Amino acid sequence: MKRTFADLHLRTNPKDAQATTQLLSKAANLGYTQVSVPFAPEARNEETQTLRNTCKEFGLDFVSRVDLHPRHQDELLTQLRKLRRRFEIICVLCESKEVARQAAKDHRVDLINFPQLDYRGRFFDRAEAELCSAGAAVLEVDVKPLLLLEGAARIRMLASLRQEAAIAREFHLPMVVSSGVSEPMLLRKPREMAALSSLFSLQGDAALDAVSQNPGAIVARNRMKLACGFVAPGIRVVKEGKTP
């Protein structure tokens, strides 16, 4: 079966129409078929629909996404209650261990992302992976730092990513590799993204799955859950009967 490729983290500002259009056009030309741009939690449905229509012009399947930056566990729980049914992808940017642990075990979270470049601020360890294995969250890695960092900082970043990838393999957790870029010149072809993943020990099909099968499976699962009539996995309301 032919692979289709996704980049779930194009970090453009949806309100900047020109920059967004340039980035989407480049993504389509490079061979992506599914893309996502994070919106603010307070974004209106009309804003996401406008971007969805723009994506259609380039033959792209748009996936609505929100990136959450909770300061603590209670704030995360409040945000999830409000936003789970508004967006197809919910990613939590984990800047504390408390938030990382809660995000890993909450079935309403799709992606966990560690934006810190310093390994001391990254909390994906075996305890985190074990919680993910019991929930639904998947580790997302942005390649942007690998393109911009140099010298010792890049070496430390790669060391952290290799350790995280090894832990994910140990617990049989899939990974998603995204660009995390806002400039078209930093975008790479899907297979080049997979090749970059080899720098932190994702090889062969596992690297390709991280930019195709894994993100696609998350989107398909959530669209099913958000569809009208969904009750539980394998259970849907087809037609409501009249009460006698």
**CA-based Rg of the chain, rounded to a whole angstrom?**
18
CA atoms within 13 A on the CB side of 150: 0
Where does the chain show beta strands of DSSP type E? 5-7, 32-39, 61-68, 89-93, 111-113, 138-142, 175-178, 230-232, 235-236
Please state the rounded mean pLDDT for residues 76-92. 96
Bridge partners, 89 (sequence order):
65
- Mean pLDDT, residues 89-111: 96
Residue 237 clears pLDDT 60, i.e. is over it:
no
238 band by pLDDT with thresholds 50, 70 and 90: low
Q: Enter the CATH code of domain 5-236.
A: 3.20.20.140
Degrees to nearest 5, angle at CA 35 with 135 and 165: 45
**Residue 42: C-alpha distances to residues 47, 68, 82 (Å):** 10, 11, 10
Domain residue spans of the chain: 5-236
- Collapse the DSSP code of 149 into the 3-class scheme (helix H, G, I; strand E, B; otherwise coil) and give the result: coil
- Token digits of residue 133: 């294995």
pLDDT tens column, 17-34: 999 999 999 999 999 999
Query: CA 203 to CA 195: how far, in whole Å?
Result: 8
pLDDT at 35 over 70: yes
Share of the chain above pLDDT 70, in %: 92
pTM: 0.89
Q: Give the contacts of 169 (CB within 8 A, at least 6 positions apart).
A: 206
pLDDT digit string (tens) for 135-186? 899 999 999 999 999 999 999 999 999 999 999 999 999 999 999 999 999 9
Q: Are 139 and 112 in contact (CB under 8 A)?
A: yes
% of the chain surpassing 90 pLDDT: 85
In whole angstroms, give the CA distance from residue 61 to residue 156. 35
